[in-house]
Amino acid sequence: MVHLKDNFGRTFPYFRISITDVCNFKCGYCLPDGYKKPDNKKTFLTIDEIRRIGIALSELGVCKIRLTGGEPTVRKDFIDIVKNLKSLPGIKKVLMTTNGYNLKQIAKPLMEQKIDGINISIDSLDREKFKFITGMDKLEDILAGLKLLQENNFKKIKINAVLLKGVNDSEEDFNNWQQFIKSNYVDFRYIELMQTGDNLDYFKKYHVSANVFRDYLLKKEWIHQTAGFDSGPSKNYIHKDFRGKFGIIAPYSKDFCKSCNRLRITAQGDLRLCLFGDTGISLRALLQNDEQIPQLKDLINAQLNFKKESHYLELGNTGITPHLASIGG
């Protein structure tokens, strides 16, 4: 059952909800100076507002919700948010993206809530490189959290790294990840660095085409796998000798937007049709009580008519997105 459809025939079984803009890391491509509280007094979505979004989305045929941020797990009510969304009929998967800083502490409660998947951002397996990229010396803690998940037989783990020229794009870096997924049951994906409103200099310095990793995979006899209906834009590769998969998310590649199946809601309740769109319509006024849910559904449905065919990122159009922490990357 998928109701949400745009004018280009794309359907939307998948939503990302950002639940906070706050983050405790300082990734060079995202928040190099750390999170700064903005002047506006807007608060982040409350647990009740998130629940109403979840109900509306499930009635619109959305079956998969990813919680993201900023760093979603800085919220004290994070586990309750997961619990709430998991209780909604129709929402078959609740997933999350995290920098993993407190994974050791929250791994058990997350598994108790039966979280359906955890994406952990780990830009390098080398402690110094990790520190250089994220501004934090947290690699050991994150890996310990990952280990705890694995010891408890939790298998739905993906690791994401942003590919950065001259930092983590060498054959040695790729070999390290290959070794890692041989001994760990995880999928690993490189994301090509995206230009956002705030990171032009960083982008110019570190952007490299994800083809360098694709060429490596083909050389090592990894085989491209076709995608499922609710899977994201990642191109996945499998290999008979490995349990984990490799993936590439290449937003600048031709036809990337053709398979777009996701919409986003920001931490302040704006619906964003595209990561790099020019507008965001506020849903907040319709999130205040359960009686508004039919209107909320109508608004989301109507907005889909405005979803554009492509992000035009290749033309340097980053829309109104200063950094991905502001929209939930």
Site of interaction with ligand SAM (CB under 6 A): 23, 29-30, 68-69, 71, 97-99, 121, 160, 162, 191, 193-194, 196, 199, 324-325, 329
Length of the chain equals 329
State which H helix or E strand residue 190 sits in: strand 187-192
Cα(116)–Cα(113) distance, integer angstroms: 9
Strand partners, 106: none
Residue whose CB is less far from ligand SAM, 90 or 322: 322
Cα(81)–Cα(92) distance, integer angstroms: 15
Would you give the binding string for ligand SF4 spanning residues 99-138, x where CB under 6 A is met? x---------------------x-----------------
- Tell me: does residue 270 bind ligand SF4 (CB under 6 A): no
Q: Which residue is nearest to ligand SAM (CB)?
A: 329
Residue from 27, 65, 118, 249 binding ligand SF4 (CB under 6 A): 27
Residue whose CB is less far from ligand SF4, 104 or 239: 104
Tokens found for residue 20: 């906070």
**Sign of the C-alpha dihedral computed for residues 152, 157, 162 and 167 taken in this order:** positive
Give the interface size with ligand SF4 as a residue count (CB under 6 A): 11
Amino acid identity of residue 187, one-letter, is: D
Return the number of other C-beta atoms located less than 10 Å from residue 170's C-beta: 12
Stretch that binds ligand SF4, among 6-14, 25-33, 78-86, 223-231 (CB under 6 A): 25-33
Residue from 15, 53, 60, 71 binding ligand SF4 (CB under 6 A): 71
Pick what 191 binds: ligand SF4, ligand SAM, none; C-beta below 5 to 8 Å, kind-dependent. ligand SAM
State which H helix or E strand residue 303 sits in: helix 293-303
Residue from 17, 19, 23, 81 binding ligand SF4 (CB under 6 A): 23
Stretch that binds ligand SF4, among 41-49, 69-77, 232-240, 275-283 (CB under 6 A): 69-77
Q: How far is the CB of 275 from ligand SF4 (least distance, A)?
A: 13
51: alpha, beta or left? (left if phi > 0; alpha if psi -120 to 50): alpha
Stretch that binds ligand SF4, among 68-76, 144-152, 213-221, 236-244 (CB under 6 A): 68-76
Cα(233)–Cα(261) distance, integer angstroms: 8
Tokens found for residue 122: 């780990």
- Tell me: does residue 287 bind ligand SF4 (CB under 6 A): no
Cα(1)–Cα(90) distance, integer angstroms: 10
Question: In 60-170, where does DSSP find H-type helix?
Answer: 78-86, 103-112, 127-134, 139-151
Q: How far is the CB of 81 from ligand SF4 (least distance, A)?
A: 17
Kindly list the residues in this chain that would bind ligand SF4 in the complex (CB under 6 A). Answer: 23, 25, 27, 30-31, 69-71, 99, 121, 325
